[in-house]
């Protein structure tokens, strides 16, 4: 499981670095949505590995250092790339923290009622309203 998370993070941060360098911005549709999903999936796998806080831009720096000879624009746009990645990672961390708080409340409610299974409606609300990944 650790190996899979490391591979996901390294693959995604490489793609994200080049996407942002090409001017793609995180959004809710099109290429921007793909970028957002890659960033968030990488951040989620970082959490699975026990990494707290922001870490993706540090990895992005490694990608830039290793690729800047063939792609000098990466080094030129480094500050912009870091800013975009940091902002999106901040948003995701806030979303996850908020979702975890709501999930804890829902779990407490389940215990009070003697239920053990979160309803589909609650799971969908966490996903749809708060962007909480269903696999968490």
pLDDT at residue 132, rounded to an integer: 76
Residue 55 domain flag: yes
Instruction: Express as a percent the part of the chain with pLDDT over 70.
Output: 98
Average pLDDT over the chain, rounded to an integer: 93
Write out the H or E segment, with its range, that includes residue 70: none
**Rg of the Cα atoms in the chain:** 17
Residue 136 domain flag: no
Q: How many CA atoms lie within 13 A of 57 on its CB side?
A: 16
Residues spanned by the domain of 90: 2-130
Residue 135 domain flag: no
Domains held by the chain: number: 1
State yes or no: pLDDT of 98 exceeds 90.
Answer: no
Pair 85, 20: CB distance under 8 Å: yes
């Amino acid at each position: 499981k650790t190996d899979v998370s490391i591979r996901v993070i390294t693959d995604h941060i490489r793609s994200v670095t080049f996407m942002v360098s090409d001017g793609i911005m995180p959004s809710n549709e099109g290429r921007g949505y793909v970028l957002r999903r890659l960033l968030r999936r990488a951040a989620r796998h970082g959490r699975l590995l026990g990494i707290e806080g922001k870490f993706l831009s540090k990895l992005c720096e490694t990608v830039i250092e290793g690729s800047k000879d063939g792609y000098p624009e990466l080094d030129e746009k480094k500050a912009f790339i870091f800013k975009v990645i940091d902002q999106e990672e901040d948003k995701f961390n806030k979303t996850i923290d908020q979702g975890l708080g709501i999930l804890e409340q829902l779990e407490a409610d389940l215990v009070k009622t003697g239920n053990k299974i979160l309803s589909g409606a609650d799971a969908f609300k966490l996903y749809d309203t708060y962007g909480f990944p269903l696999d968490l």
